Structure 1
């Protein structure tokens, strides 16, 4: 099945860009980033930003991220994939990451949400932009949420202050 990523949620003053691989089926069906109720992304970002993002409609969640200099996008523009697992991605077309990064003059950090996103996208990122690979927020990645949060906090907190 051919699946496509969502439009980027990025403002011109973006300082940190979080890149996933390709939305899972629940997110694709809902039409929103990280819509699976067991995905740890929104709980982690809520704790990091000290905002209850999970209680907000998705548009307000996106606005809150943008207000904190954070953008969202996916590495994969389109791919074949049965189900939601990254291991099932084939025939991937990559989003124009280098061009987008070059246009973001305040961008300081690319945070890959999982190893697949990093594997497919890291070579596309200009060398002057710092990169970090985070444990996947996906429920398929069985690391406990406390450990995911700790790893995300260590990597992202220094970049959250303006």
Structure 2
């Protein structure tokens, strides 16, 4: 992640997808920990990987390395990226996001047969609606955030809601 003198932070983590991806999960913008770790949902208290392992698990261990995480996503036909390409942000706080430049989802949507778009949290959903819905012409589903800031939602509640959204027709 690069940060200029004007406070703009550039998203430098490439999307994860291939031609077999069917579900696209969008976050808002990588947290400080994810930017440092150079991969999605890198904060140890973010429950994203626990939730997806529980949703798809079937006894699989939770992926730990970046390569394991990429392989897990692709094996389960899941694409991951973020709504924002660059913005001004203080730390990891979605509430401080301003001067948004959205990502272009067309490389994913033209390569893969994405059947549903899921947004990880209210901010990702609101940003998708504002900046990308018109471009994609597709509805997105708002899911509860896996962020540690969403303490009101238990792991079991998150898993149930995410599983229902992923496997619903």
Q: Please give the TM-score of this superposition, normalised by the length of structure 1.
A: 0.88
Correspondence for 2:23: 16
State the SS of the aligned residue for 1:53: coil
- Paired with 2:96 and 2:156, the residues of 1 have a C-alpha distance of 27
Contact 2:18–2:112 (CA under 8 A) maintained in structure 1? no
Pick which of 24-33 and 56-65 moved more: 56-65
- Provide the alpha-carbon RMSD of the alignment: 1.7
Q: Which of 116, 132, 137 is residue 146 of structure 2 equivalent to?
A: 137
Contact 2:146–2:158 (CA under 8 A) maintained in structure 1? yes
Query: What do residues 22-55 of structure 1 show as CA deviations (whole Å, max 9, x unaligned)?
Result: 010011111111010100100001111112224x
Query: What do residues 102-130 of structure 1 show as CA deviations (whole Å, max 9, x unaligned)?
Result: 40351100010111111111352433x45
Q: CA deviation at 1:158?
A: 3.3
Aligned residues: 156
Q: CA deviation at 1:131?
A: 2.1
Matching of residue 62 in structure 1 with residue 70 in structure 2: yes
Correspondence for 2:165: 155
- Paired with 2:94 and 2:107, the residues of 1 have a C-alpha distance of 23
Gaps of 5+ in 1: none
Structure 1 ranges of 4+ moved more than 4 A: none
Q: CA deviation at 1:141?
A: 1.5
Contact 2:8–2:89 (CA under 8 A) maintained in structure 1? yes
Gaps of 5+ in 2: 1-6
Correspondence for 1:53: 62
Correspondence for 2:116: 109
Cα gap change, 1:47 to 1:100, in 2 (>3 Å): same
Contact 2:19–2:111 (CA under 8 A) maintained in structure 1? yes
Contact 1:4–1:22 (CA under 8 A) maintained in structure 2? no
